[in-house]
Amino acid sequence: MSLITHLAERRKAAGMTQAQLAEAVGVSRKTINTVENRVFVPSTVLALRLAEELDVSVHDLFELDGEA
């Protein structure tokens, strides 16, 4: 299984840049970029911080692709 991310769409809908979101949740812009590009799977804590900052649920940001 791999992670599907909707982070970029939700971030853009909130009118935020990667740098703004990164600063708000206490990580680097590169971290946001690598999560959006499925290079890095965020920790539970980071996923919760991202969801809180974007005012969505974690399920709105991430899902599993269903492949075994």
Residue 7 lies in a domain: yes
User: Per-residue confidence at 25, pLDDT binned at 50, 70, 90?
Assistant: very high
Residue 42 lies in a domain: yes
Residue 68 lies in a domain: no
Q: Residues of the chain with pLDDT > 70: what percent? A: 96
pLDDT the model gives residue 2: 85
pLDDT the model gives residue 46: 98
Residue 67 has pLDDT above 80, yes or no: no
Q: Which residues contact 49 (CB under 8 A, 6 or more apart)?
A: 25, 26
CATH of residue 48's domain is 1.10.260.40
